[in-house]
């Protein structure tokens, strides 16, 4: 059945678990997530970015969501808009059947210019006012995703936002977070603590100087009843890097967010953990492998099936490691 983000994260908070939010662009990814959720009895957050909506078409996404709910009626599914960039993109997502939207006012609609306080509060509040009339949940974002190593903030496309930013500009300020939640009435708050989107998050295993999990603890202490969201939370596993590179890929040495740091977040109010890159890597590795081992193959199912299975395996692991497993039937 469908569930809103609010209902799902309230249950997660009451029971001390986190929910991975996996990005989808196509049927294979949607089915991979559902197969993992079914196998582990886990509730699901499936999210689509503006890029995914442009790629797959809103109508296709709408029927795909209806399809997974019909195939797996016992699994609660929240369908969420990832990084809405203006009120209009949130509204059209709601019309397409999403039960939850992110209004990311941390950047202006161009996806480059950091959104100032008044812009972010104003546009986010506009969305919560509209969405809450229809029982739709809203995620907001305060702080700029990006690298504390380089001081580079991050635009929505994963490339640098304008200028080099200081530590303080990149991290979410806990007192501002309190004000932001009060003024915007968001159901969930994405915070910045040093992660960035994509495969290249850290140049070595991150420590507290580049991945500031203490910020999450401080925010949780001040906002114990707010559901926190971690973006850029792929782990970028070495074995997935190795598979891609073994079959002709060119992933440069890199580190993602260690699972233990995410678990520390979940113990401190993090309820939604956004993961896209790891799924892309799991899929790409298997496609490369099949095509490298059998260059004569051209039946797409021969590479999409193992690709889908690799994503299912990854999703299962995340459901288990975030303590989501076993919860679906309790909601």
| Residues classed as catalytic | 82
Stretch that binds Na ion, among 51-59, 101-109, 114-122, 317-325 (CB under 5 A): 101-109
Do residues 125 and 185 touch, judged by C-beta distance below 8 A?
yes
Q: Smallest distance from the beta carbon of 233 to Na ion, in angstroms?
A: 11
Could you give the string, one character per residue 69-108, with x where binding to ligand G3H holds by CB under 6 A and - elsewhere? -------------xx-------------------------
Site for Zn ion in 273-302 (CB under 5 A): 274
Q: Of 128-187, which residues contact ligand 13P (CB under 6 A)?
A: none
Distance, in Å, from the CA atom of 296 to the CA atom of 127, rounded to the nearest integer, reads 51
- Least distance in Å: CB of 281 to ligand G3H? 12
Q: What Rg value do the Cα atoms of the chain yield, rounded?
A: 19
Residue 141 in the binding site for Na ion (CB under 5 A): no
Minimum distance of Zn ion from residue 228's CB (angstroms) = 14
Q: Does 197 bind ligand G3H (CB under 6 A)?
A: yes
Which residues neighbour 301 within 8 Å (Cβ) at sequence distance 6 or greater?
none
Per the CB < 8 A criterion, the answer to whether 18 and 320 are in contact is no
Written as six digits, the tokens of 15 are: 């029971």
Residues 150-169 binding ligand G3H (CB under 6 A) are none
Question: Which member of 19, 52, 229, 283 binds ligand G3H (CB under 6 A)?
Answer: 52
- How long a stretch of residues is the chain? 331
Binding partner selected for residue 198 from Na ion, Zn ion, ligand 13P, none, CB under the kind-specific 5 to 8 Å limit? ligand 13P
82 binds Na ion (CB under 5 A): yes
Comparing CB distances to ligand 13P, the nearer of 11 and 83 is 83
11, 80, 125, 231: which one contacts ligand 13P (CB under 6 A)?
Answer: 231
Rounded CA-CA distance 295/254 in Å is 29
Candidates 56-64, 113-121, 208-216, 232-240; binding stretch for ligand 13P (CB under 6 A): 232-240
CB of 256 to Zn ion, least distance (A): 14
Rank residues 83 and 289 by Cβ distance to ligand G3H and give the closer one. Answer: 83
List the single partner that 276 binds among Na ion, ligand G3H, Zn ion, none, CB under 5 to 8 Å by kind.
ligand G3H
State phi, psi for 41 to the nearest 5 degrees: 55, 50
The distance of closest approach from Cβ of residue 191 to Zn ion in the complex, given in angstroms and rounded to an integer, is: 12
Minimum distance from CB of 280 to ligand 13P (Å)?
Answer: 8
Quick check: 123 binds ligand 13P (CB under 6 A)?
Answer: no
| The one among 231, 271, 289, 308 contacting Zn ion by CB under 5 A | 231
The site for ligand 13P (CB under 6 A) is made up of: 23, 82-83, 197-198, 231-234, 274-278
The site for Zn ion (CB under 5 A) is made up of: 231, 274
């Amino acid at each position: 059945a469908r569930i809103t983000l609010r209902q799902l994260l309230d249950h997660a908070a009451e029971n001390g678990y986190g929910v991975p939010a996996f990005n989808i662009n196509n049927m294979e990814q949607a089915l991979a997530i559902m197969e993992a959720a079914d196998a582990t009895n886990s509730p699901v957050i499936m999210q689509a970015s503006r890029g995914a909506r442009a790629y797959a078409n809103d109508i296709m996404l709408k029927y795909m969501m209806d399809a997974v709910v019909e195939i797996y009626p016992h699994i609660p599914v929240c369908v969420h808009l990832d990084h809405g960039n203006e009120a209009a993109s949130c509204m059209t997502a709601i019309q397409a059947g999403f039960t939850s939207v992110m209004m990311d006012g941390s950047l202006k609609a161009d996806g480059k210019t950091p959104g100032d306080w008044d812009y972010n509060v104003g546009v986010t509040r506009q969305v919560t006012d509209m969405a809450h009339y229809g029982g739709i949940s809203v995620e907001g974002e305060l702080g700029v995703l990006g690298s504390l190593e380089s001081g580079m903030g991050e635009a929505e496309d994963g490339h640098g936002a304008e200028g080099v930013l200081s530590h303080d500009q990149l991290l979410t300020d806990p007192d501002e977070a309190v004000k932001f939640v009060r003024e915007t009435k968001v159901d969930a708050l994405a915070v910045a603590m040093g992660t960035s989107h994509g495969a290249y998050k850290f140049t070595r295993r991150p420590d507290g100087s580049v991945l500031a999990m203490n910020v999450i603890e401080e925010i949780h202490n001040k906002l114990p009843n707010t559901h926190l969201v971690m973006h850029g939370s792929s782990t970028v596993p070495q074995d997935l890097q190795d598979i891609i590179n073994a079959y002709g890929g060119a992933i440069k040495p890199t580190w993602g967010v260690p699972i233990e740091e995410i678990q520390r977040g979940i113990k401190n109010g993090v309820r939604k953990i956004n993961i896209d890159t790891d799924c892309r890597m799991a899929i790409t590795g298997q496609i490369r492998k099949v095509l490298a081992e059998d260059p004569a193959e051209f039946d797409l199912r021969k590479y999409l099936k193992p690709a889908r299975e690799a994503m299912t395996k990854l999703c299962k692991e995340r459901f288990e490691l975030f303590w989501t497993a076993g919860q679906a039937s309790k909601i």
